[in-house]
Amino acid sequence: MSQTLQKNTKPTNKGTKQLFSNPILEKLSRTHIMVPISILTIAAIGVIYWGISNGAIGVLLAVILFFVGMITFSLIEYLVHRYVFHMVPSTPAREKIQYSVHGVHHEFPKDKDRLAMPPLMSSAITVILFFLFRLIMGNAVFGFLPGFLIGYCAYLGVHYIVHAYQPPKNIFKVLWIHHGIHHYKDHERAFGVSSPLWDYIFGTMPKQTSR
């Protein structure tokens, strides 16, 4: 676990923090949750529609790859959260970057404007992933990437529900408690946000989730 998160980012349920002195950069570091969700959903629909309508991929294969893409994203979500966002920074510069990317979220978990990557970054990463996956898997990208993007949208939605609302009286309550434990009780466990699946598999489930 990052010592920075442990020592310097005690969570507070109020307020926000300015990350950039430049007002334009500060504005670009914030976003309403529906902006990236809308962009990524439209991109996912466009990619899979184009692939099927132009014969690049069959409907059945597209559906199978779509779900493979969603599951793959949930694994990437877990690994990035655990090993990138919570790595121990070796230099002050890396510590500052880590704080800007994730530490500030641990310090101000209720800041609704910083619960997702800004739209410019989300769009750029989507384009990069398209060409990367196309290079690796060819036309399978037209089924896999949409599932991957919708997996990310699901993560964004769950993450927003957890931080913006009180515990809901439905299935999301389990995820609310799971992620709450990660923020307020044990930074070294409960890395999965959209699903606790990989916490079960890799042994990072909280010891007591009933609380």
For the chain, the structural domain boundaries read 32-202
Residues 6 or more apart from 22 whose CB is under 8 A from it? none
Higher pLDDT, 82 or 154: 154
Q: What is the pLDDT of residue 47?
A: 97
Task: State percent of the chain over pLDDT 70.
Answer: 72
Q: Angle at which helices 34-53 and 119-137 pack, to 10 degrees?
A: 30
CA-based angle 68:147:50, to the nearest 5?
120
Q: What is the pLDDT of residue 94?
A: 62
Does the structure show a pLDDT above 90 at 137? yes
How many CB atoms lie under 10 A from the CB of residue 203? Answer: 8
Lowest mean pLDDT among 66-80, 92-106, 146-160, 196-210: 92-106
Lowest mean pLDDT among 71-75, 156-160, 183-187: 183-187
CA distance 158 to 133: 26
